[in-house]
């Protein structure tokens, strides 16, 4: 854990390191069972999901590969702009493969919906979604999450890969950021 300067910015810890570790292990077991005997290819949505991906992969007991896609919809803001841009496309073909999109958080659904349409247009064998967090209160576009870590309230959270201004990703827990830090007060 980092110094006190990070903790003073956290209003409350929403999910502990232990809660996250236990749930990621459970998801890894379910993914391994479902994809047994299939060509599993994980697609990590950068940057927020990289910590989740790293831990999840260690709990998947079947052979798998991974790739990364970077999407922008927030910029420096705390709310999605609704405009989605690809910053980094996939390096590998998804055609004929079983794709599991690994996402950090689903709120409006706009970004995930865009990624799903993009991946499906490339003729994979299947596409499913694994998200660490879901904020259903913010949903604008309906999306299905096949493997979900936690449903959380509509609070601005950081840690375990999630950031504000590229900070706080290194926290081992999910914490609610103090509103005065991001201008939400």
Of residues 9, 55, 104, 107, which has the active-site annotation? 107
**What is the rounded CA–CA span in Å between residue 19 and residue 177?**
19
Structure tokens at 161: 């890969």
Length of the chain: 185
**What is the rounded CA–CA span in Å between residue 149 and residue 172?**
15
DSSP three-state, residue 53: helix
φ and ψ at residue 46, rounded to 5 degrees: -75, 155
Clarify whether 92 is annotated catalytic.
no
How many helices (H) does the chain have, and how many strands (E)? Answer: 5, 9
**Four-point Cα dihedral 35, 20, 45, 162, nearest 10:** 180
Residues that are catalytic: 107
């Amino acid at each position: 854990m980092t110094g006190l300067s990070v903790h003073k910015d956290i209003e409350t810890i929403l999910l502990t390191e232990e809660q996250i570790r236990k749930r990621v292990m459970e998801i890894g077991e379910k993914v391994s069972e479902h994809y047994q005997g299939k060509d599993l290819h994980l697609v990590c949505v950068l940057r927020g999901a990289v910590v989740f991906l790293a831990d999840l992969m260690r709990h998947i007991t079947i052979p798998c590969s991974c790739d990364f896609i970077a999407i922008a919809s927030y910029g420096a803001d705390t709310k999605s702009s609704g405009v989605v841009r690809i910053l980094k496309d996939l390096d590998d073909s998804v055609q004929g493969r079983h794709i599991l999109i690994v996402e950090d958080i689903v709120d409006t659904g706009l970004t995930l919906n865009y990624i799903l349409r993009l991946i499906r247009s490339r003729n994979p064998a299947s596409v499913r979604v694994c998200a660490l967090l879901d904020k259903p209160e913010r949903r604008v576009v309906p999306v299905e999450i096949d493997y979900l870590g936690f449903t959380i309230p509509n609070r601005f959270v950081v840690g375990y890969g999630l950031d504000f201004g590229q900070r706080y990703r290194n926290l081992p827990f999910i914490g609610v950021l103090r509103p005065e830090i991001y201008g939400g007060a």
